[in-house]
């Protein structure tokens, strides 16, 4: 119930306005966000790289409502790619299609993402984040246009283990040779489309891990669950798979000691590094995943 409540509140404009003006809420959110500026995010990634950890940039923002905002978001990502190259940091980028204008005009969204993928001289990879189930079909449809019609191979997708449909989607992406980032899912989904029980989500995640490791193209396995991480390690050892053929992924500010331990054990590790002023929806989804943090956050809002 608490998780569903915070996921619902992530869409509240009123609470967002209050949170953005609250210094304590902002300070706490920065446990999960690398800062509000590009420079701050670059500095955070430099520190990660020093510890053998790769990164993926995410400029926070979603559901833009004008063509101008969508084009500006794409411009920012081209700037990020240029900064990655000039700063010589080990990072790729992740983006949301609603930030690129999916709800404004799908052709505009396609052109914006294409422009980012076309920055081939910057020699980087673009990951398309998955949003709520209302966008799954549209997200994968636009990805197919990038892959099949435009011919881009420096682009991949995120798939969510809590959706019933995801095994079919994983098989399709494996057949294409597309790179998949597998996560559990962080949106409030109805039982008609998603497993309602955590145990079922975990079981499906493990099943999809096997499928991706056996048939996928350098999958990214995004989880902080030590049981699933240990399961993956045992599967890799049992099958004799090269541990460099995939990577573990985690979120910025979460399980830092475990991230370092996996690197020391010889596994590839990438951290999802969000930054920007539009941190509220992302922050609320992290609260939904980590209810132990709720007391601090609510206290800061009450004090205001």
d(CA 265, CA 272): 20
Residue 168, judged by CB atoms within 10 A of its CB (0-12, 13-18, 19+), counts as: exposed
Q: What local confidence, expressed as pLDDT, does residue 296 receive? A: 41
| HSE-CB for 256 with a 13 A CA cutoff | 9
pLDDT at position 13 is 59
pTM of the model: 0.87
In a domain, 14, yes or no: no
- For CA atoms 210, 215, 217, 218, the dihedral sign is positive
Q: Which of 83, 127, 179, 181 is catalytic?
A: 181
Q: Is residue 176 part of a domain?
A: yes
What sign for the dihedral angle of Cα 256, 257, 260, 265?
A: negative
Taking only the tens place, the pLDDT of each residue in 110-158 is 999 999 998 756 779 999 999 999 999 999 999 999 999 999 999 999 9
Residue 283 lies in a domain: no
The answer to whether residue 81 sits within a structural domain is: yes
Q: Which of 58, 129, 169, 202 is catalytic?
A: 129
**pLDDT at position 108:** 98
| Bridge partner residues of 126 (DSSP) | 93, 155
Rounded Cα distance between 209 and 161, Å, is 10
CB 249 within 8 A of CB 271: yes
Q: Is residue 296 part of a domain?
A: no
Q: Is 13 part of any domain?
A: no
286 is catalytic: no
Residue range of the domain that includes 144: 34-278
Instruction: Please count the CA atoms within 13 angstroms of the CA of 195 that sit on its side-chain side.
Output: 19
Residue 181: active-site member: yes
Give a yes or no: residue 156 inside a domain. yes
Burial of 190 (C-beta count, 10 Å sphere; 0-12/13-18/19+)? exposed
> How many domains does the chain divide into?
1
Q: Are 240 and 220 in contact (CB under 8 A)?
A: no
CATH number for the domain spanning 108: value is: 3.20.20.220
pLDDT value of residue 282: 76
Sign of CA dihedral 161, 167, 172, 175: positive
> Which ranges of the chain have pLDDT less than 70?
1-29, 120-121, 279, 288-304
- Does 97 reside within a domain? yes
């Amino acid at each position: 119930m608490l998780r569903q409540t915070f996921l619902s509140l992530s869409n509240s404009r009123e609470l967002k306005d209050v949170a953005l003006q609250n210094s304590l809420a902002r300070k706490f959110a920065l446990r999960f966000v690398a800062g509000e500026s590009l420079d701050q995010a670059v500095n955070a990634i430099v520190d990660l790289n020093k510890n053998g950890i790769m990164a993926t940039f995410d400029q926070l923002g979603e559901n833009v409502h004008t063509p101008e905002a969508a084009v500006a978001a794409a411009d920012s990502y081209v700037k990020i790619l240029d900064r990655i190259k000039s700063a010589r940091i080990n990072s790729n980028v992740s983006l949301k299609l609603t930030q690129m204008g999916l709800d404004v005009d799908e052709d505009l969204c396609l052109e914006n993402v294409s422009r980012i993928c076309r920055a081939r001289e910057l020699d980087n990879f673009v990951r398309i984040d998955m949003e709520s189930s209302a966008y799954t079909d549209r997200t994968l449809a636009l990805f197919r246009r990038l892959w099949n019609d435009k011919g881009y191979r420096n682009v991949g997708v995120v798939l969510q283990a809590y959706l019933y449909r995801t095994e079919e989607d994983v098989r399709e992406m494996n057949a294409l040779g597309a790179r998949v980032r597998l996560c559990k899912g962080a949106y409030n989904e109805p039982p008609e489309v998603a497993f309602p029980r955590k145990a079922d989500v975990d079981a499906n995640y493990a099943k999809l891990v096997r499928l991706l490791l056996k048939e996928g193209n350098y999958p990214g396995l995004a989880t902080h669950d030590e049981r699933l991480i240990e399961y993956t390690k045992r599967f890799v050892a049992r099958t004799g798979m090269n541990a460099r053929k995939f990577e573990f992924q985690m979120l910025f500010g979460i399980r830092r000691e475990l991230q370092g331990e996996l690197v020391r054990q010889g596994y590839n590790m990438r951290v999802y590094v969000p930054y920007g002023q539009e941190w509220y929806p992302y922050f609320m989804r992290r609260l939904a995943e980590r209810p132990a943090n709720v007391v601090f956050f609510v206290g800061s809002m009450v004090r205001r």
